[in-house]
Amino acid sequence: MNRRAFLRAGGVAIALPFLEGLPSRSAWAADSPPVFSLYIVAACGVVGKKFFPDATGPLTTDGLAAMTDKATHVLAPHAKNLLFIRGINFPMGGPTNCGHAQGLCQSLTARPAQGGGSTASAGGVSADVLIAQLVNEGGAEPLTLYAGNRRNGYIAERISFKGGGAGQVRSADDNPYTLYSKLVGLAESGGSSSGGNSGAQLAEELIRSRKSANDFVREELNSLMRMSALSSADKKRLQQHFDAIRDAEVTMGEMAGTCSQAGLSTSELDALKSGFAFKTNGMIEDVAKLHLELVALAFACNFNRVATLQHGDGTDGTRYSVPANATLGWPFHHISHRVQSDAATGNNPTAEQAHAEIDVLRMQTLLHGLDQFKARDLFDKSIIMWTNHVSDGPSHSFRNVPTIIAGSGGGYLKQGAFIDAGDVTNNRLFNGLIAAAVRDKTEWTENFGEGKGSGPIDGMLA
């Protein structure tokens, strides 16, 4: 049964979060919380020696924070909810074509890629699609998001697949407005919205009047907040929920103000509705953060139980303003190759240092997302996986691909630890993650993808 409840007024419908005091209007039943899954795939590898701790073992806030030479030290505030895993390989032994494209195609399918470059395809269904079919009402498709330049003319989105072969990749939304509009009921369904105004008209009114979607339901919200059945925790949860919606609106407005297409300024509404004029000046991190905020909101109101976020692409042209790149001024793809080329590889030490600094930035973006999940009490009922489409920039290696998991998946997964998977293929990673994600609906006993061995990774379960 779909338990999603809404506040409705003036054509706006805002989904509500979990409310223990009002079971009939809560996003889910208190005795049957769902497990939500977010899969993040970043681009161009990491600087391995400066990414994870040097040794496996327990993760503590103080211990991780002290490792300032490691990119993951910025995640220290959430150490007790983290699982770092090394020793995971993709099914292909190494690239046979463009490693970026082939890595993307393996990252969530755990199957060898087919072809390469701009026509690369997957060997089978991706984990997000499989999980969504099992847990979403009516098998609704997962949220599929993208932070980066989808119009780069080469690889673009390549992580979510309906199946194997050509034409199976699922299109990703690069514009955070798309998900926002669905969460506040601005997206049109069947050509009209509940209040007699089209979604576009309502959105335009919000932009023009500088109002928040919250303003349309303010009276109903205040009435709800006054209900004696709500606990103090419920009221705090509601306030955080609506504050986050407003924060997202402000952020989108700031982003839209810098957008232009072909040298012509666009209105905020057009920029948000039609897509970004993507900037390669580091805007990618702001977009990723906003996507993460909105996914946390979507999960909190049980809008969808599954999402993916592709964070960059193989030929990422972002010019990060990290200290080591001040003299180089190279795009990230060249930095990852350690030479100013999309094809050759080098060993420029300044580029390596710049890559390590970019790793820290990307971990700060992940931290921002984890903060959102923690604020909404989602860690105990979520799986947030972060990985990369290659392990290392210059080599484009598919071996020892870094993996971070936040959240216990309903108490199923180990937390506060750094483990070595033992040189296994990522099918075993997904066997564990799928089992955690679908437990309230079914028991997962199959072997996902292709690879060596079956069952979950030893040591990843609680």
Q: What is the pLDDT of residues 425-452, one digit of tens each?
A: 999 999 999 999 999 999 999 999 999 8
Q: What is the mean pLDDT of residues 319-339?
A: 97
What are the boundaries of each domain within the chain?
1-32+189-277, 35-174+282-462
Q: Where are the alpha helices (DSSP H) in 257-282?
A: 268-274
Q: What is the mean pLDDT of residues 272-280?
A: 62
Name the average pLDDT for the chain. 84
Instruction: Report the percent of the chain where pLDDT is more than 90.
Output: 61
pLDDT range class, residue 229, cuts 50, 70, 90: confident
The fold of the 35-174+282-462 domain, in CATH, is Alkaline Phosphatase, subunit A (3.40.720)
pLDDT at 8: 54
Answering whether pTM is above 0.85, one says no
CA dihedral 359, 365, 369, 371 (to 10 degrees): 90
The answer, yes or no, to whether residue 273 has pLDDT greater than 70, is no
**Contact status, residue 362 vs residue 284, Cβ threshold 8 Å:** no
Distance CA 88, CA 210 (A): 48
pLDDT range class, residue 37, cuts 50, 70, 90: very high
H or E element, residue 222: helix 218-225
What pLDDT, in 10s, does the model give residues 69-127? Answer: 999 999 999 999 999 999 999 999 999 999 999 999 999 999 999 999 889 999 999 99
The answer, yes or no, to whether residue 191 has pLDDT greater than 60, is no
What pLDDT, in 10s, does the model give residues 17-32? Answer: 666 665 654 445 556 6
The answer, yes or no, to whether residue 184 has pLDDT greater than 90, is no
pLDDT at 241: 66
